[in-house]
Amino acid sequence: MLALIQRVTQAQVTVEETVVGAIGPGLLALVGIEPGDGEAQARRLAQRLLGYRVFEDAAGRMNRSLADTGGGLLLVSQFTLAADTRSGMRPSFSSAAPPERARREFERLVTLCRELHPPGVETGRFGAHMVVSLVNDGPVTFLLRP
């Protein structure tokens, strides 16, 4: 399980011209599920998403987490993130979990984040063609693995 996180001032996901998830200041997380991912990986990634210190403190240092700021979290499933790109000129998706397993694990992650982050967790729509819009703040972008 991996997540590409971006600190944002705002982000939203649109499906068929309808906004299905939107946040103000917070984190956008593009999430890839890999074979073998389960509850332990989801739990660890939820902790990292909420606790990773990417927001500035009064001194301008990255010392505050999403849990500290109470910002929004927008989780978007993205199987292409788990692609194997090491060779050739076309990605291989054999390193991504099969769709039904990925859906189950992504939903587990969403549930855990919602339990742990009362300020709010929004999502895209699993398996849909999504248009993701964001304003990256910094820019600040990190790849997290549990």
DSSP 97: P
Residue type, 92: S
Look at strands 55-56 and 18-23 and give their pairing: unpaired
The candidate with the shortest Cα–Cα distance to 54, out of 78, 11, 25, is 25
**CA gap 100, 102 in Å, rounded:** 5
Catalytic residue numbers read: 78-80
**CA gap 117, 104 in Å, rounded:** 20
The candidate with the shortest Cα–Cα distance to 13, out of 25, 23, 22, is 22
